[in-house]
Structure 1
Amino acid sequence: MAVDLSSVLHELAAGEWVSGERLGARWGVSRAAVSKHMKRWRPHLEALGLTLCSERGRGYRLSKPIDLLDEGLLSAAPVPVFARVCLDSTQLEARRLMLDRELPFAVVSEHQSSGRGRRGRVWQSGFAEGVWWTMAVELPCAPVQLGGLSLAIGAALGDCLERECGVAVALKWPNDLLLDGGKLGGVLLEVSGEAEGPSHALLGVGLNTGRVPPAVDGQQAASLALGQGRRSQLLVSLLSACWTVLQRYPESGFSPWREKWQARHAWQGRQVSVTGAALSEACSGECLGVDEQGALLLDVGRERRRVVSGEVSLRCR
């Protein structure tokens, strides 16, 4: 069999010593060949932040166990899932697959080298330290009807995480998920299509489940404390929650999720400042939540301001 990076990771994922003899038997190669394979893949593992340990008489192990996604468990997801070890990003891979694959499907990866969030920000993707995926779907509606879809997804993810992990997730307009004030994850939605429909959507979601990543642009991060073996089960539940929203949204719009979103709104009733490329100047006021289309509502003096641009950033004053 071909000894690729995935083969090495699956054999050593438990973080326990595995002899060269056992690895050779599993791979159908000699112990000398095992040594050559390990020498070949060691720098690749180091690039992923993983340390390969070797010791005469004991064999090989990773310095810590890793919780790899289980493709068998992922088969329970509501759409076909393409699982990868390393990618530039799940979104770019989904675009490539859309050229010759039927929709819907999802792409997940243990690691992304070029993951991104809103406004082109880098998304930190430590190896097996989170769940990040892109779902590619066709929706029977015009792109203009999907303005509040990412907010509906955020509300559904918050409910799912509360059920599955017992955590109270808050939402920051438009697409951030917060835990104890830190950024737990985010939603990235790209929509294209004819003016009358149908629409093609790439729904990207990233959630931290391992070590807490460093702060980005002054925003502290947060992470779930998942036990070993939980990532695959959680990912299936999250994909199912997203799929439920995607099936209902073309008919219902944002309305069924508005109250759920408002209930999790981190800054409801707070004084905030809003800036963005679509605004001629920053505006400040009391945050009133969102309307039926998912637009942000601000009380600016005696005027109610409606903000719809996806390029808006929100900061507490």
Structure 2
Amino acid sequence: MKCKVLELLRSHREPVSGEEISAQLGVSRTAVWKHIKTLREEGYEIVSQPGKGYLLKGIPDLLLRGELAHFLAGSMFARSIQCHLTVGSTNDLAKAAADQGAPEGALVVAECQEQGKGRLGRQWFSPQGGGIYASVVLRPPLKPEQAPGFTLLAAVALAEAVQKVAGLTPGIKWPNDVLLAGKKFCGILTEMKAEMDRIYYLVIGTGINVNTDPQSFPESLRDTATSIKTEGGKAVSRIELLAVYLKNMETLYKVYLEQGLPPVIEKWKTWNVTLGQAVSLTSGGEVFQGRAVDIAGNGGLVVVGNDGEERIFQSGEVTLRTK
């Protein structure tokens, strides 16, 4: 009911009386007042004008369920939304929800992560207030060997969203880093539960430095990390960016299911900063140096070694070399 009150206020540019809200929603005026009070406590600026009613004047910069439900209306990602202030890891919560039968599209977001997860067991720096930390559940009717393509898919969706919302042009470094001005502002972690021939579910976790102050980064990250606000010079609506990102992901997901990964790979190539570059790739304790030349049909990176040997890597840590 709180969300219905919010949507009613959002749909009016003029004040709406408590009596009118009560009549339209079929609740008492006391209930309306309680919902208004709760919305104000969440940070919504709702003014009371004597003799006229309530007017929504401002929306908080918080990842709130009501805002996400509004911006994601009609999307599969609006089916189940969990919003938290502080969590250990959104990926862990999304996996737990998936194990308990959460529908495809289930979304978990948080303002802060205390144990944000990156690839290779690393931790993703997740301070409160400036970033987006979100995980979604997908249940694709695919085989486990097709899962790596989802990291590419998510990276393309995010790059397109940043260009649309912030007017910036990111670059994608295989397999999961999204960069601005050569520095990382987004990481994507895809985790899976599967059998030999079927995927039960995928969880795609995304950490985005949106309005994060560069001075808040740990000393060890300041030379390699950045934020959208830092590179664009102005704050960006986190709600809008997350909604556009997820809608892009849903569109590309349908493309993947209907046409396979090749159309996604072609889009990925337009944003990539890896192909054609000299790279050092660490995988399974081995370091392989050469030139990244292509993306394989399943999303693997094709590298031609310095000795002419061509290899395809399904995972690994890529460093772009200057020579």
| Shorter-chain TM-score range | 0.7 to 0.9
Equivalent-residue separation in structure 1 for 2:250 and 2:219 (angstroms): 31
Q: For 1:69, which of 63, 71, 75 is the aligned residue? A: 63
* TM-score relative to the length of structure 2: 0.72
Following superposition, the deviation at residue 219 of structure 1 comes to 5.8
User: Could you list the per-position Cα deviations for residues 170-193 of structure 1 after superposition, in whole angstroms to 9, with x for gaps in the alignment?
Assistant: 011110000011101011001222
Q: Distance in 2 between matches of 1:229 and 1:267?
A: 27
Q: Equivalent of 1:316, from 312, 315, 321?
A: 321
Instruction: Tell me, in whole angstroms, the C-alpha distance in 1 between the residues paired with 2:42 and 2:136.
Output: 30
Deviations 1:255-274 (A, max 9, x none): 00212212222133222211
C-alpha contact 1:67 1:228 (8 A) present in aligned 2: no
The aligned amino acid for 1:252 is Q
User: What corresponds to 1:158 in structure 2?
Assistant: 159
Give the Å deviation of 1:130: 0.7
The question of whether the paired residues in 2 share the 8 Å contact of 1:215 and 1:221 is answered with: no
Specify which of 297, 300, 308 is matched with residue 292 of structure 1. 297
* Residues 15-164 of structure 1: pairs in structure 2 closer than 5 A: 67-75=61-69, 76-77=71-72, 78=75, 79=77, 80-104=80-104, 105-164=106-165
Residue deviations 1:132-151 (CA, integer Å, cap 9, x gap): 10101211111112232211
Deviation at 1:214, TM superposition (A): 3.5
1:233 aligned partner: 240
Q: Which has the higher helix share?
A: 2
Q: What amino acid maps onto 1:254 in structure 2?
A: L
Return the alpha-carbon distance in structure 1 between the equivalents of residues 65 and 221 of structure 2.
35
Residue 120 of structure 1: CA displacement?
A: 1.0
TM-score by length of 1: 0.73
With over 3 angstroms needed to count, the CA separation of the structure-2 counterparts of 1:310 and 1:9, relative to structure 1, is farther
RMSD of aligned C-alpha atoms?
2.9
What's the offset of the Cα at 1:232? 1.1
1:297 counterpart SS class: strand
Question: What is the letter of the counterpart of residue 300 of structure 1?
Answer: G
Moved more, 209-218 or 107-116: 209-218
Counterpart contact for 1:175–1:186, Cα < 8 Å: yes
219-228 vs 116-125, greater mean Cα deviation: 219-228
Instruction: Say if 2:224 is the partner of 1:220.
Output: yes
CA distance in 2, matches of 1:165, 1:93: 29
2:109 alignment partner AA: V
**Identity, % of aligned positions:** 27
Number of aligned residues: 261
Residues 295 and 307, structure 1, Cα contact 8 Å, conserved in 2: yes
Following the alignment from structure 1 to structure 2, what is the Cα–Cα distance between the partners of residues 123 and 260? 26
